[in-house]
Amino acid sequence: MNLQLEGKKTLVTGSTAGIGFAIARTLAREKASVVVTGRTQQRVDDATQSIRKEMRDAKISGIAVDLATPDGISKCIEAVPAVDVLVNNVGVYEPKPFEQISDDDWRAIIEVNFMSGVRLSRHYLPRMKAANWGRIISISSESAINIPVEMIHYGVTKTMQVALARGLAETTVGTAVTVNSVLAGPTRSEGVEQFLIDMARTKNITPEETEKEFFRTGRPSSLLQRFATTDEVAALVAFIASPLSSATNGAALRAEGGVVRSIF
């Protein structure tokens, strides 16, 4: 299927690894012009070179920037003043008992997971409306619905992303601009790979056995019963970024393997 993304300028935040990298690579395959962001120049260079190695004609560039700060946002906007597609993917998580989550912890995770998207959307959304076309997509999580008891602050920021996307969508009435969120589920990223290796070593079992145990005891409601691949999540994001998704606006779309046990 031709997603009609050729020539579309896209910015994917937090895209040097994991879901963000898969989204950037998938959009590049669709011939979109892609800007990758990461916190270090080395990570950005590694990501862009990897995509170029796979696709010699890829229109890919990158910015090393800390999007958790207003200064970092300003630097990003200065480098990329206008985009057709904004993917708010940058995010962090930290398992921590609620009683030990300090005010500084709350502020730090909100700045990265939520305020980065607020600030970038505040800049790009009016320009999309003026051009009468655009896409804003926030990469949320099934944790927005199933708040994880081991990291409540993370789950709250994921819910905030969904609420923001719906609210911004309400401002796009009568335009060809859409704002949606994607609820990713347990996904095989760099962090997950290391988690499986560490747990397997601790329990003296294989990573494959560790994964099966995780879904049997930790995520028993999963219909997939395995970690999704980053490409599986990226495929949904690419469709939502495309002109073909014009009737989808203000939605929280799932790529979470059926972990959420509800029909709505």
Kindly state the DSSP code that residue 216 receives in the 8-state scheme.
I
Bridging pattern class, strands 85-88 and 9-12 = parallel
Phi first, then psi, for residue 157 (nearest 5°) are -65, -30
Task: Determine the Cα–Cα distance for residues 25 and 22; give it in Å rounded to an integer.
Answer: 5
Task: Determine the Cα–Cα distance for residues 241 and 258; give it in Å rounded to an integer.
Answer: 23
Backbone angle region of 228, left / alpha / beta, with phi > 0 → left and psi within -120 to 50 → alpha:
beta
**Element holding 139 (H helix, E strand):** strand 134-141
154 catalytically annotated: yes
| Of 85, 109, 79, nearest in space to 32 by CA | 85
DSSP count for the chain of H helices, then E strands? 9, 9
Instruction: Return the bridge partners of 140, or none.
Output: 183
Task: Determine the Cα–Cα distance for residues 162 and 160; give it in Å rounded to an integer.
Answer: 5
Sign for the CA dihedral angle at 56, 77, 89, 87 comes to negative
Kindly state the DSSP code that residue 214 receives in the 8-state scheme.
I
Catalytic residue among 21, 93, 124, 154: 154
Task: Determine the Cα–Cα distance for residues 264 and 257; give it in Å rounded to an integer.
Answer: 15
Give catalytic residue positions. Answer: 154
